[in-house]
């Protein structure tokens, strides 16, 4: 394989450096700045002609700025005749807008996909909110699964007979990935309406009484989902709740709220940089590349 250059956008610079090191590639320097009126300037500071390039950029908050920056990088690489261009978007912002509910609505995740693929040859993301986002791309597009990375972390804690629970049906595949590493049971919380204004969330199959529960989800945003799930599980007798997420979106002061509501541990990967991004996805990306 010829020389490869890895570029990290504003959101993923340290991750890009880790990946570059792991695949023995050069890191590509970029100049990025903003004019006083808010318009963006971007310059690719290395010669990319004929060279394969990898661009790593999460489209997390501020989403629109980070998307624009990604599009600027890709377009500039193409204009400067780069070889194969691979895009890695560890956290794909707007992924929760994955379908239209009425005609006339913008399908934002598709709008973004269409613009990304204009100037790249292959696309990777990590635990997309919905897998069908891959179908929006006409270029090869793959999803990587970081749930084993959460699993490896929880394994180091040597918990006795833990169970892994997702707060809803959609989180079952993350729970399965974590449980596979720990070789323990997994489940998800099912919502049952008990009467007007009264809802119960209970694991579909597992009894959590006296168990260490590892509660996992793809995203923690406002934390409302996790707080509700944790309250239910504690009321059902769970001994300890340890929380893991792939993408720490973290809107507001949610980490202290999670601990205040009884979480014994809260960890995330570095698809988004945050105060709980202890686990790196660099090897997952490096292996895929
Ligand atoms: C929803 O389907 C997602 O998987 C997450 O459960 C959700 O985005 C978390 O949001 P919040 O932290 O605001 O409850």
Walk me through the domains of the chain, giving residue ranges and CATH numbers: 4-145+282-288 (3.40.50.2020), 147-270 (3.40.50.2020)
pLDDT at 51: 97
pLDDT at 202: 85
Q: Check whether the bond before 62 is cis (ω within 30° of 0).
A: yes
Q: Is the pTM of this model over 0.85?
A: yes
**Calculated CA dihedral for residues 201, 274, 147, 230, nearest 10 degrees:** -20
Atom of ligand 1 nearest to the CA of 225: 14
Atom of ligand 1 nearest to the CA of 218: 4
pLDDT at 29: 97
CA angle 175, 138, 94 (to 5 degrees): 50
Active site amino acids = 191
223 lines ligand 1 (CB under 6 A): yes
| Mutation choice for ligand 1 from 93, 98, 225, CB with most ligand atoms inside 8 A | 225
Distance 263 CA to ligand 1 centre (A): 17
Distance 46 CA to ligand 1 centre (A): 40
> Alpha-carbon distance 119 to 86, whole Å?
9
CA angle 107, 109, 113 (to 5 degrees): 115
Pairing of strands 30-34, 40-44: antiparallel
172 lines ligand 1 (CB under 6 A): no
98 lines ligand 1 (CB under 6 A): no
Within 13 Å and on the Cβ side, how many CA atoms surround 150?
Answer: 35
Mention every residue, 6+ apart, whose C-beta is less than 8 A from residue 38.
Answer: none
Distance 136 CA to ligand 1 centre (A): 22
pLDDT at 191: 79
CA angle 114, 64, 169 (to 5 degrees): 70
Atom of ligand 1 nearest to the CA of 129: 4
Q: Whose CA is nearest to atom 10 of ligand 1?
A: 221
The residues that bridge with 265 in the sheet, in sequence order, are 242
Residue 113, SS3 per DSSP: helix
Distance 219 CA to ligand 1 centre (A): 6
By C-alpha distance, which of 30, 25, 36 is closest to 12?
Answer: 30
Distance 189 CA to ligand 1 centre (A): 13
Mention every residue, 6+ apart, whose C-beta is less than 8 A from residue 76.
Answer: 42, 43, 44
> Alpha-carbon distance 261 to 226, whole Å?
10
Q: Whose CA is nearest to atom 8 of ligand 1?
A: 219
Within 13 Å and on the Cβ side, how many CA atoms surround 18?
Answer: 15
pLDDT at 159: 97
Mention every residue, 6+ apart, whose C-beta is less than 8 A from residue 102.
Answer: none
pLDDT at 198: 75
217 lines ligand 1 (CB under 6 A): yes
pLDDT at 1: 65
Question: Is-contact 266 150, C-beta < 8 A?
Answer: no
| Mutation choice for ligand 1 from 98, 165, 221, CB with most ligand atoms inside 8 A | 221
Which regions in the chain score pLDDT beneath 70?
Answer: 1
Extended strands (E) in the chain: 4-8, 26-27, 30-34, 40-44, 52-56, 85-89, 122-126, 141-144, 163-166, 186-195, 198-203, 212-220, 240-248, 263-269, 277-279
């Amino acid at each position: 394989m010829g020389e490869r250059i890895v570029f990290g956008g504003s959101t993923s610079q340290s991750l890009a450096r880790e990946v570059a090191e792991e695949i023995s590639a050069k890191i590509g320097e970029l100049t990025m700045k903003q004019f006083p009126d808010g318009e963006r300037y971007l310059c690719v500071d290395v010669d990319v002609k004929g060279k394969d390039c990898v661009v790593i950029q999460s489209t997390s908050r501020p989403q629109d700025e980070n998307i624009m920056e990604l599009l600027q990088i890709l377009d500039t690489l193409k204009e400067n005749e780069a070889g194969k261009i691979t895009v890695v978007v560890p956290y794909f912002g707007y992924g929760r807008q994955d379908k239209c509910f009425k005609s006339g609505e913008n399908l934002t995740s598709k709008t973004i996909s269409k613009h990304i693929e204009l100037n790249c040859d292959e696309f990777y993301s990590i635990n997309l909110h919905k897998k069908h986002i891959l179908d929006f791309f006409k270029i090869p597009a793959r999803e990587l699964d970081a749930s084993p990375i959460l699993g490896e972390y929880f394994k180091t804690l040597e918990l006795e007979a833990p169970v892994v629970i997702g707060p809803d049906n959609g989180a079952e595949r993350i729970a399965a990935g974590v449980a596979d590493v720990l070789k323990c049971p997994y489940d998800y919380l099912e919502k049952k309406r008990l009467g007007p204004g009264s809802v119960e969330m209970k694991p579909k199959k597992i009894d959590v009484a006296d168990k260490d529960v590892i509660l996992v989800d793809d995203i923690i945003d406002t934390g409302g989902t996790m707080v509700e799930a944790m309250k239910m599980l504690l009321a059902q007798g769970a001994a300890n709740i340890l929380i893991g997420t792939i993408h720490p979106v973290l809107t507001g002061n949610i980490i202290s709220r999670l601990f205040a509501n009884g979480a014994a541990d809260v960890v995330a990967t570095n698809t988004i940089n945050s105060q709980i991004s202890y686990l790196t996805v660099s090897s997952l990306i490096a292996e895929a590349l």
